[in-house]
Amino acid sequence: MPSERPDLPAHLEALDRAGLLHRIDEPIDKDTELHPLVRWQFRGGIAERDRKAFLFTHVVDGNGHRYPTPVAVGALAASAEIYRIGMGVASIEDIGPHWARAAAHPIDPVEVSDAPCQAVVRSGDALEAPYAALDGLPIPISTPGFDVAPYLTAANVITRDPDSGVQNMGMYRCCLKAPMTFGIMMLASTRSGGNTHWKKYRARGEKMPCAIVVGCPPSIAYCGPQKFDESLDELAVAGAIGNEPVEVVRCRTIDLKVPAHAEIVIEGLVDTDFLEPEGPFGESHGYVALEDYNMIFTVTAITHKRSPVLLSVISQVTPSESSVIKRVAYEPQFLGFLRDTLGIRGITRVSMHEPLTNLRRVMVLVFKRGVPTTEIWRALQGTTTLQASCGKYVIAVDEDIDPQNADALLWALSYRANPERDIRIIGPRERGHGPRSDRRGSTDSAMLVDATMKQDLPPLALPKREFMEHARVLWEKLGLPRLSPESPWHGYSLGEWTDDWDAAAERATRGDWQENARMASLRRRGNIEPNSPVERDQG
């Protein structure tokens, strides 16, 4: 018998214990209500720390049909904390190093003969009955009003290279077309294993075996959206994430191996002779993807646990669950690449702007003060090389700038960057992830900006920290409205500040401002123009 290992239901129980799960037992229409309900926690002003997973136990469709299978949404990455629990690490800061170790030291899967995901098997004539095939799965419509069909958004699609035998797993959208048919969009770009495999099978004149896995254990599901070399099996990386080999089982009707503890596995063949229009669909870049010719998948078997859970992901306009899945892994990946691979000195953080821009377009590099300009430009240029679709606008800032605050970024651009000297345009580059309605070309360019301080500046003109903290205590004592401090909320030195000025300011707070005036009067000068700066070495 297979061993007891963390799976999706165990993860949901862990989220429930942590107070991070909404259980909805009321009837919810999968095509008009389910995704819009969860979407509100991403567009309703709810802070990321307060987002939760949803488990819908009473799922219906517009015809009143009730599905026996519950649907979970937000369970992978409604927030970084949910992602942390799924990764099994102690803190959010541990996610990046854990990913790096797993990618560097993969653990090969182990094959088993008895698997929970094959407790129920339907193939052949058993798929012909109503609600026995794909129509029996409560697949939601993600973007009601624009999507043309229900879509699997959390599918981990497994294919195999017919030459090397190495399997690949990617997270691709699957459009429900008929009880036995999906349309699948496998990215026709570099490092998309499924598309590469399809081309090889097409050259052979063979259909491509394909397994669509729904509801993997989180350690496996997180590997689908990541970008690994095509020679690396994502299930081996997942094993390293979970610190033990992933148990896999051979499919019943095709020659592929799938995670034994998945909730649902849909086995089938992808046509290599024909493509069919697929879409429109609300995509993760935040626009509706219009119709494209994509792959046709025909079911050969459906297997699942005795009481499975169907997993779905909130995507489309960011922030979304799909952007959190990428952000918490991509940011440390880029930092490690710049700091460890390229040896960039003084870089402390990489932040990928999430709201609306979807991570890839705007990236911010945070540096310690005093880093040589040459290092900053090496980092700016290096950022655009790790992933072809990332880094359209790359901005370097100092540590006092909050990279997630657009106002702070504009502040740095306004006072710390000279456009003539500190901005460079590079290209051509791959256009990258975005709406495909623009057919004017496949290339784009990138803007690199050094918005770090090139010299010392006067202090930020806000009261010093101790005075603001004291005022906050007084504010709360007076019962004034609740504060939500925005950075920066106190003044601090930016280098151009002397001990004499500091002492004078301290005297002023004690009421001894007249002494400052007396000392200034001793330094009167003639034959000088108004607004001439006072030399800093005068005492």
Domain shared by 417 and 509, yes or no: no
Residue at 444 is within a domain: yes
CATH number reported for the structural domain that contains residue 104 in this entry = 2.30.110.10
H-state helical runs in 285-438:
321-336, 373-386, 406-416, 419-422
**Domain C-terminal end among 450, 476, 509:** 450
Domain that holds residue 477: 465-521
Q: Which residues in 185-198 are b (16+ Cβ under 10 Å) and which e?
A: bbeeeebbbbbbbb
Domain shared by 440 and 517, yes or no: no
Measure Cα distances from 426 to 25, 187, 189, 291 in Å.
53, 25, 21, 31
Domain shared by 443 and 471, yes or no: no
Measured at the CA of 218, the angle between CA 359 and CA 135, to 5 degrees, comes to 95
Decide if pLDDT at 344 tops 50: yes
**Domain C-terminal end among 397, 415, 450:** 450
Domain shared by 65 and 182, yes or no: yes
How far apart (Å, rounded) are the C-alpha atoms in residues 38 and 17?
20
3-state secondary structure of 265: strand
Q: Which pLDDT does position 192 carry in this prediction?
A: 63
Q: How confident is the model at residue 37 (pLDDT cuts 50, 70, 90)?
A: very high
Size of the chain, expressed as the number of residues it contains: 539
Q: Tell me the two tokens of residue 297.
A: 């998948």
3-state helix, strand, coil in the chain (%, to 5): 30, 25, 45
Concatenating the DSSP letter of every residue in 406-419 gives HHHHHHHHHHH--H
Residue at 258 is within a domain: yes
Domain shared by 246 and 135, yes or no: yes
Decide if pLDDT at 93 tops 70: yes
Dihedral of the CA atoms 250, 255, 256, 260 (nearest 10)? -10
Residue at 436 is within a domain: yes
Tens-place pLDDT, residues 106-135? 999 999 999 999 999 999 999 999 999 999
Q: Which amino acid is at 519?
A: M
Q: Which pLDDT does position 2 carry in this prediction?
A: 39
Residue at 539 is within a domain: no
Domain shared by 361 and 260, yes or no: no
**Interval 219-243 mean pLDDT:** 86
DSSP single-letter state for residue 378: H
CATH number reported for the structural domain that contains residue 346 in this entry = 3.40.1670.10
* Whole-model pTM over 0.95: no
Q: Which pLDDT does position 539 carry in this prediction?
A: 42
Decide if pLDDT at 142 tops 90: yes
Q: Tell me the two tokens of residue 269.
A: 């063949």
Residue at 326 is within a domain: no
Domain shared by 377 and 440, yes or no: yes
How high does pLDDT run on average in the chain?
A: 92
Tens-place pLDDT, residues 41-68? 999 989 999 999 999 999 999 888 999 9
Q: Which residues contact 100 (CB under 8 A, 6 or more apart)?
A: 332, 333, 336
Count of structural domains within the chain: 3
Q: Which residues contact 325 (CB under 8 A, 6 or more apart)?
A: 76, 77, 83, 222, 225, 313
Domain shared by 290 and 357, yes or no: no
Domain shared by 389 and 505, yes or no: no
3-state secondary structure of 200: helix
Q: Which pLDDT does position 5 carry in this prediction?
A: 60
- Complete edge-to-edge strand list for the sheet that includes strand 28-29: 28-29, 59-60, 66-67
Q: Which residues contact 64 (CB under 8 A, 6 or more apart)?
A: none
3-state secondary structure of 97: helix
3-state secondary structure of 476: helix
How far apart (Å, rounded) are the C-alpha atoms in residues 29 and 174?
20
Q: Which pLDDT does position 152 carry in this prediction?
A: 97
Decide if pLDDT at 226 tops 90: no
Domain shared by 479 and 438, yes or no: no
Best CA proximity match to 73, nearest among 284, 322, 300, 379: 322
Q: Which residues contact 37 (CB under 8 A, 6 or more apart)?
A: 24, 28, 54
Domain shared by 403 and 470, yes or no: no
Residue at 387 is within a domain: yes
Residue at 337 is within a domain: no
Domain shared by 482 and 446, yes or no: no
Q: What phi, psi does 54 have (nearest 5°)? A: -120, 140
Contacts 24+ apart (CB under 8 A), 459-465: 459/491, 459/492, 459/493, 459/494, 459/496, 459/497, 460/400, 460/488, 460/491, 460/492, 460/494, 461/491, 462/488, 462/489, 462/490, 462/491, 463/490, 463/491, 464/490, 464/491, 464/492, 465/490, 465/491, 465/492
How far apart (Å, rounded) are the C-alpha atoms in residues 9 and 101?
26
- Per cent of the chain over pLDDT 70 is 96
Tens-place pLDDT, residues 247-281? 999 999 999 999 999 999 999 999 999 999 999 99
Residue at 329 is within a domain: no
**Domain C-terminal end among 418, 450, 482:** 450
**Interval 20-37 mean pLDDT:** 96
**Interval 425-434 mean pLDDT:** 79
